[in-house]
Amino acid sequence: MVHLQKFHEKHADQGLQVFVISMHPEPEQARKLTAELKATYPIFNGHGSDLGK
């Protein structure tokens, strides 16, 4: 996720969009982690969705 953030910062103005789909069973913990990592790209909450199956 740290490397994705670097990619996001480096290439966003060239039209690259980074996304993460979080499958963490406890979204609150995932929120804390992304805040700690200072991730600024969009993060979908995918827990419980069909994407995880």
Partner 1 sequence: MTMYRCAEHRARDALRWLTIVVAGAMAVPAQAEFTVGAEVPTVSLKTTDGKSVEIRRAEGTVTVQVGDEQIHPKAVVIHLLQPDCPQCRAQLQALKPLAARFLERDVVTLGIAHRGTPEDARALAKELNPGFPIALGVDSDIARQFAAGDTLGIADATGIVRFAQAGFGEGDQTLWEQALDELVAGKPVAKAGTDRERLAVGDSMPAIRLPSLRNDKPMSLGIEAGKLVFRDDAGKESRPKAVIFFFSRY
- The 3-state secondary structure of 32-53 reads HHHHHCCCCCCEEECCCCHHHC
SS3 3: helix
Instruction: For residue 39, give both structure tokens.
Output: 């991730």
Q: Where do contacts with partner 1 occur on this chain (CB under 8 A)? A: 1, 3-4, 7, 11, 14-27, 29-31, 33-34, 42-46, 49-53
Q: Could you tell me the smallest distance in angstroms from the CB atom of residue 8 to partner 1?
A: 8
CB of 24 to partner 1, least distance (A): 5
Q: How far is the CB of 22 from partner 1 (least distance, A)?
A: 5
